[in-house]
Structures are given as structure tokens and as C-alpha cells.
Amino acid sequence: MSESNLKSMADLVSLSKRRGFIFQSSEIYGGLQSCWDYGPLGVELKNNIKERWWKSMTYRDDVVGIDASIFMHPTVWKASGHVDGFNDPMIDCKQCKERYREDKIDATKPCQKCGAKDSFTEARDFNLMFNTQMGPVEDESAKVYLRPETAQGIFVNFLNVQTTMRKKLPFGIAQIGKAFRNEISPGNFIFRTREFEQMEMQYFLKPGTQQDAMEAWKETRLQWHIDNGIRPEKLRWHPHVGSELAHYADAASDIEYEFPHGFDEMEGIHSRTDFDLRQHQEFSGKKLEYLDAADNNKKYLPFVVETSVGCDRCLLAVMADAYRLENEGDKEKERTVMKFDPKLAPIKVAVLPLMKKLEEPARKLYSEVQKHYRSEYDLAGSIGKRYRRQDEIGTPFCITVDFDTLEDNAVTIRDRDSMEQERIPLDNVINYLNDKLKF
Ligand code: ATP
């Protein structure tokens, strides 16, 4: 058997649309650039990723969760540096007016769109924050921003959480939520969009202990991606050095995944010092210091190590990594299969009666399986077509109810990856699945 990986993003975009993972936003109106809608299978996959992240990050003694609002006091973004400094360098092609992020292209080469040579303008700063007005009065005082990161909702709540939850350093605050950036050049499907979801955690600690915490979190986070089923050889570290390192950070490293367009950032682990808490303390005039009972009641601003991963980028990596094309060109044997780790697969089990006449026992089995696992019931079309659909949506197990079932009270269970089939007594189906889908 021959097997190949995902070669181009177009194949994934097409599968996502064909099978109900991801649709272009407002498609019937011609779409809205860089905006995407998750379909029924996409939302299941996304929820599975978020649930895994939430459990792995907060089902531990030293991390708690919050859910802060998207709109925040405008001064938050002044303090954080986003109003003055959240800029990307933008250049335009003078011929076709296409805009580019200067740091993402080679401006000595011709324009990628129209091919014009030496046609770029000088770079100028472009602020990535979206803003809007809050309330009925349209003036500068009503201006609010759509948060460009979830982290600031955590920093401004640091003392609220620490005191109410009686937390001692080190401890973390985790959050999942939408963020918005008016990206100059969005693209590569859901890799870079203007509305996206982040899963972030800020770990507050005693100054001087950040290096050890950074190393520990790096290991934990890399392992989380591997446990999502991503092949380790498709992951690598990209440490920030020199001018890459943000002015407020004393160390930073990205986890990169090898997307079809090359290795690119999926998650950032940053040692952010006390920059954010210090800025908020100064701009709000409120003390944000921690009282360290374990160290002579000293008061100080904690340092922070953060882990920040885009949910959509992570989902893109999970899909890209799961994609396989088997026996390409062989009319009989070619198939596309999404080899999702079963714990992330949107649908775990499909129940497929061979004929309409077998609906009764099939429906009975389906309602039993559905109590335990997210399942699908499918009666339409040939069994071959139905298998092909389940392979393409990555369903680990298909259960076929056939005429023999009426005689032997058993069904055939097909494994997605090996395509091997086993005859299992109806009474044993749930045990069989429980055994195979243990996670
Ligand atoms: P980039 O260099 O790709 O613009 P960044 O370094 O600015 O990203 P961070 O601010 O560290 O990104 O954001 C943390 C994570 O949020 C990123 O690793 C990524 O997974 C996700 N993310 C950031 N911007 C976007 C976007 N426009 N679309 C989708 N995900 C994003």
C-alpha cells in the first residue's frame, strides 16, 4: 500500500467544505476574506481540542480558569503597549495596490501578485487592533477595542483570582476566547485570520524562578501536541533570539508545525517578566503586588511565563497531520483518510445497516452507542460510499448491521486505519468500543 501526506492546502480546504468541517464565511454573498465558519464536524473537532486543552491545563492544583470579556477598558491597551506598539510594517505594490507585511516577504523580489519589479512603497506602521464604539455616542471617548489577545483579561484579574482562590505562587490562570487582529495579509486557510480563538495561560511566579518554569512548560506543551496525535517529526522549536525577542520578554520559544506552506508558528511560550503587571499597576494606580507569606511578607510583582496557542492553528495542524491519501491513482483502492487520534475524532462510531430492512436492529444499536459516544447513523448509498465518507471524516469505527445479524446477533466492526473487520456479538459492542476508545 502506498500512502502520502497532505501536499497542498487546497486539498484540505476542499475536504473541509465537502465533508462539513469548515465553510467560507458568508459564502452565498461571495465570502468575506479571511473569515471561516466551522461546520458540524469542525465544531466537534474544535470542541474536542478545547476540552483537551482545558482539562490538561486546569485539572491540576496550580492553575485555575477564567472567562474575561472581549471589550475592556481602553486604557488596558494603552498600558499593554498595544495602542502605540501593536504594529506590523506594511508595504504596497504601486502597480496593483496589493498590500504585504514587509517582514513576511522579500521586497527585493517582484510583486507576487502582478510581477512588477521595484514597485514597493516604503514600509509604514499599521496598527492591528480593530476598534468600535460602545454606547450611542459616537466620539473618541466611546472608542473601545476588540481584544487582540486574551492575555490582558488575565493580567487585570490577577489579584481578583489570587485572593478569591487563595492561591500561592507559583500559580496560573488559563483562558480560552476569541481575539481579533486586522492582519495585513491573512491567508493559508485558517492559519492567519482576522478573528480567531486563543488558548492562553499565564503562570505567575517568584522573580528568579522563570527559567525553570519556562523549561517545564515547554516540555508540557510540546507533549500536549504530540498527545493530540501530531507526529513529533513535524514539530520543532524556534527560539527567539536578538531582535525577534519582544522588548518585555527575557526568553521566548515557539512550537512550529510543518504546514504545507512550511514550518510555521503554532504556539508561543514566553517569559514576560513583570512587564504587564507593572504597566497595569502604573496606569491604573492600583497596587498589584503579591504578599509573599512564605518569604517574610515581602511584597513584589510576580514574573510571568505564558503559553499561548491559537485554537484554529492547532486544529489546522491536527487536520493537516491526519490527512493521508492511500493508493493514489488506483481506482479500486484509492482512499483519503483522516487518521485523527480517536480522542479528537469528531465522530467516534458510525452505525451502517446494509439494507433498509435492517433498520430496526440498527437503530436500536445506534441509540445504545450514542449514549456513550458521538456517533452517526447512515443508511444512504452503497456501503463503499458510506465507508469512504467515514474515512474522510476520520471515524475510527464503522459498525455494519447485515442479514446475518438477525441470525447470529452479531455485527461487523471495521477499523478505520487497518480496514480490518471483526465480528462482535451485539452484547459486546459497548465493551469492545470502551476497550478500543480508552482515553
Ligand atoms: P504571528 O507571528 O504568526 O503573527 P504572533 O507571534 O503575533 O503570530 P502571538 O501574539 O504570540 O502570535 O499569538 C499566540 C498564538 O495565537 C499564535 O501562536 C497563533 O497560534 C495564534 N494566532 C496569532 N495570530 C493569529 C491569527 N491572525 N490567526 C490565527 N491564529 C493566530
Q: What is the pLDDT of residue 138?
A: 80
Is 310 near ligand 1, meaning CB less than 6 Å away? yes
- 235 is written with which cell numbers? 514539530
Which amino acid type is present at position 329?
G
CATH level 3 topology of 347-436:
Rossmann fold (3.40.50)
Q: Do domains 3-72+148-319 and 347-436 have the same CATH topology?
A: no
- Ligand 1 atom index nearest CA of 181: 27
Mutate to test the pocket of ligand 1, among 35, 150, 154, 265 (most ligand atoms within 8 A of CB): 265
Q: What is the pLDDT of residue 104?
A: 84
For atom 13 of ligand 1, which residue has the closest CA? 308
Is 100 near ligand 1, meaning CB less than 6 Å away? no
Q: Which residues pair with 300 in a beta bridge?
A: 290
Ligand 1 centroid vs 255 CA: distance in angstroms? 12
- State the CB neighbour count (10 A cutoff) for residue 125: 12
Tell me the CB-side half-sphere exposure of residue 118, using CA atoms within 13 A. Answer: 0
Q: What is the pLDDT of residue 1?
A: 84
Mean pLDDT by 10 residues, the chain (439 residues): 93 97 97 95 98 98 98 96 90 88 88 90 90 88 94 98 97 98 94 97 98 98 98 98 93 98 97 98 98 96 98 98 96 95 98 95 97 96 95 98 95 97 97 94
**Between the CA of residue 28 and those of 25, 31, 195, 257, what are the distances in Å?**
9, 7, 20, 33
Ligand 1 centroid vs 39 CA: distance in angstroms? 23
- 303 is written with which cell numbers? 514574573
What residue spans of 20-64 are helical by DSSP H?
40-58
In eight-state DSSP terms, residue 118 is S
- Ligand 1 atom index nearest CA of 313: 20
- State the CB neighbour count (10 A cutoff) for residue 194: 17
* SS3 of residue 12 by DSSP: helix
- 232 is written with which cell numbers? 513529533
Ligand 1 centroid vs 44 CA: distance in angstroms? 22
Q: pTM of the full predicted structure?
A: 0.94
Q: What is the pLDDT of residue 280?
A: 98
Residue 263 to residue 158: CA distance in whole angstroms: 34
**Between the CA of residue 382 and those of 187, 222, 387, 402, what are the distances in Å?**
38, 42, 9, 13
Domain ranges of the chain: 3-72+148-319, 347-436
What residue spans of 260-378 are helical by DSSP H?
275-284, 311-322, 359-372
Q: Beta-strand (E) ranges in 108-244?
A: 124-127, 131-133, 143-145, 171-180, 195-205, 235-239
For atom 21 of ligand 1, which residue has the closest CA? 310
Which amino acid type is present at position 312?
D
CB of 42 within 8 A of CB of 21?
Answer: yes
Tell me the CB-side half-sphere exposure of residue 75, using CA atoms within 13 A. Answer: 8
Q: What is the pLDDT of residue 68?
A: 98
43 burial type by CB count under 10 A (0-12 exposed, 13-18 middle, 19+ buried): middle
Ligand 1 centroid vs 310 CA: distance in angstroms? 6
CB of 394 within 8 A of CB of 346?
Answer: yes
In eight-state DSSP terms, residue 102 is G
Is 192 near ligand 1, meaning CB less than 6 Å away? yes
Is 348 near ligand 1, meaning CB less than 6 Å away? no
Domain 3-72+148-319 sits in CATH at 3.30.930.10
Mutate to test the pocket of ligand 1, among 271, 308, 314 (most ligand atoms within 8 A of CB): 308
Is 378 near ligand 1, meaning CB less than 6 Å away? no
For atom 2 of ligand 1, which residue has the closest CA? 265
- 60 is written with which cell numbers? 491540576
Residue 291 to residue 299: CA distance in whole angstroms: 5
Which amino acid type is present at position 55?
K
Residue 176 to residue 197: CA distance in whole angstroms: 7
